Structure 1
Amino acid sequence: MLTQSLLYASYRQSKADYSLFVKNISNELHRGARHVDDIIVVGNDKLTIRGLTSFLNHRFKLKNLGKLKYFLGLEVVRSPKGIYLSQRKYTLDILSECGLLAAKPVSFPMEQNSRLDPDTGSPLPDPSQYRQLIGRLLYLTITRPDIAYCVNNLSQFMQLPRQPHMDAANRVLRYLKSAPGTCILFSASSNLRLTAFCDSDWAACPTTRRSITGYVTFLGNSLISWKSKKQSTISRSSAEAEYRSMATATCEFIWLRALLQDLGVPQSSPMQLYCDNQAAIHIVANPVYHERTKHIEIDCHVVRERIQDGSISTSHVASSMQLADILTKPLGGTIFHSLLSKMGVLDLHAPS
């Protein structure tokens, strides 16, 4: 019913995200994002926003909560610098339910070089507690790229969690205790060009020997998306693993460009993709460099097509500046916090 009502009001449903509705009125742009029975309305004309609210209130029983401050566990704070997005209350609720509000904090979420496997340690007597905890932590990664790798790793043991897995999850909670107000900033002064960093950790899984893909995407200097994920097949070399991660980041690029087009932010210049593996960049640039790639699935070659049509350009970045490294492996405290600061992830409630 809500979808039909918005379409009736001349809003257009985005093809990139069916929960987004857009309406252009001369030089004005109005958007509505819905989730089940919750909706956010934004635009640059208050009269039009009031008109839409009145229209929807006539069709449904609405409760207008005013300016956006809290939505589905996400806290929104405005400042002259931009918009801060966090899940502080949600984080504190998790710590309270787990009885770790008074726990001793740690400065990074997972021990460096830690490798969990499915067979070490005794099974948990009640695995449902572990599953519930990991489910809540997965939702927390919406605003916390700093725990994305750890939670992705821990979610692989949901079927039969063991004590080492629970210990690692508790360490993540102790890390959250150190900075529950960690947030991301959508800068008010940022340019609107898409860039991304992609990386992989070759044969990182000790059980399957599959690699881990990680990428972070920026709109200007604002972090807008990220992912840490085990690759679906085994890579024969680090270059192949990096090539697959470039293909995954390229797919995210394609989706984000379509979404930004609907939001009135077209990408006129090529989107920049940074990788720290020279061999992977050569594979992308040279279609006849087939000896290492003839066995790779065709869908991975999407990155080549986008390079050739000019929508994406690739650049080499030093490993020390590879921001996606934080999403592929557990890092020590110094490197971990250095990369976080470069990504623009900060603690809004930290003492100045």
Structure 2
Amino acid sequence: MKQYGYEQSNADHTLFLRRRNEKVTLLIIYVYDIIITGNDHVESTRLMSRLNGDFETKNLGELKYFLGIEVARSEEGIFLSQRKYVLDLLSEVGLLECKPADTPIIQNHKLHDSPYQTNVDRDWYQRLVGRLIYLSHTRPDIAYAVSMVSQFMHAPKKDHMDVVVRILQYLKAAPGKSLFFGKHGHLDVEGYSDADWARNVTDRRSTYGYLTLVGGNLVTWRSKKQKVVSISSAEAEFRGVTKGICELLWLKRLMIELGYPPRIGMRLFCDNKAAISISENPVQHD
């Protein structure tokens, strides 16, 4: 790609881009699957012709299906879903006719690692959780529940498997739920962060979560247990804020490389006054 005059992105090393006459052409690759996009149609055609000359390639036309992700377009915007992926997963585990669940996990759950619980097949558990982790790329509604069950991959118990089954029952309720990317007339960047405090009953660590929006569209999200024990809710929330800030800075760097830098300051929202105060006042290091 560099021989073709493309630059490798520093924000995402699988992304290559080339600007020409204020237009941009993008190529992103995963192993041997490639997406080419951009607003320079002449360069896109030239790139596909050069790739055909150097490699054995197949042009599948307009993007409709990529790595299990279905892409649909309309006048309103673009939809991303994994409906077929969900139905295949439910069919594999025999839950196509199961009773749907309203939520992916029980509120105020108390998942923990106990030696007194019944063991389950670890390979089967890891396979199911691994597929749910991939599914969470288009289903932010299951991100928290999947992050919980993924913490017990080393020694899963019956209670952990019950939560995995509940997530699958929740997916049965709406297998085609999708992400929507629409035009809102701006590319403002916003983020939201939150965290619980000492929720894990085993090690008393907190779980943080954040999401980011570009142009009013949800683009990234994460839910993960913190690496250290926070001694206050303010500390747990502040650690979540720092992760959200890192994600915003990464998005800013990527958008600058694409040629669409944020025009106004990026905003990060948090619901903890103490964490906000610490963030706004760098003097409060203690």
TM-score range, shorter chain: over 0.9
Structure 1 residues 22 and 201: alpha-carbon distance in aligned structure 2, compared to 1, 3 A threshold: same
How is 1:125-204 mapped onto 2 (pairs within 5 angstroms)?
126-204=121-199
Match of 1:304 in 2: none
How is 1:1-352 mapped onto 2 (pairs within 5 angstroms)?
6-119=1-114, 121-124=117-120, 126-290=121-285, 294=286
RMSD value, Cα: 1.0
Structure 2 CA distance for aligned equivalents of residues 147 and 186 of structure 1: 19
Structure 2 residue matching 1:171: 3-state secondary structure: helix
Structure 2 CA distance for aligned equivalents of residues 139 and 122 of structure 1: 27
Structure 1 CA distance for aligned equivalents of residues 207 and 184 of structure 2: 33
Structure 1 CA distance for aligned equivalents of residues 117 and 272 of structure 2: 36
Structure 2 CA distance for aligned equivalents of residues 73 and 184 of structure 1: 14
What letter corresponds to residue 46 of structure 2 in structure 1?
A: G
Q: CA deviation at 1:49?
A: 1.2
Bigger relative contact order, structure 1 or 2 (CA pairs below 8 A, ≥6 apart): 1
In structure 2, runs of 5+ residues without a counterpart are none
Q: CA deviation at 1:285?
A: 1.6
What letter corresponds to residue 88 of structure 1 in structure 2?
A: R
Q: CA deviation at 1:33?
A: 0.6
Equivalent residue pairs, number: 285
> For the Cα contact (< 8 Å) 1:190–1:221, is it kept in 2?
no
TM-score (norm 2): 0.97
Structure 1 CA distance for aligned equivalents of residues 206 and 185 of structure 2: 33
> For the Cα contact (< 8 Å) 2:9–2:16, is it kept in 1?
yes
Q: CA deviation at 1:273?
A: 0.4
> For the Cα contact (< 8 Å) 1:83–1:188, is it kept in 2?
no
Moved over 4 A (4+): none
1:302-333 deviation line (CA, Å, top 9, x unaligned): xxxxxxxxxxxxxxxxxxxxxxxxxxxxxxxx
Identity of paired residues, percent? 48
Match of 1:311 in 2: none
In structure 1, runs of 5+ residues without a counterpart are 1-5, 295-352
TM-score (norm 1): 0.79
Q: CA deviation at 1:190?
A: 4.5
What letter corresponds to residue 122 of structure 1 in structure 2?
A: T
Q: CA deviation at 1:172?
A: 0.4
> For the Cα contact (< 8 Å) 1:239–1:280, is it kept in 2?
yes
> For the Cα contact (< 8 Å) 1:214–1:245, is it kept in 2?
yes
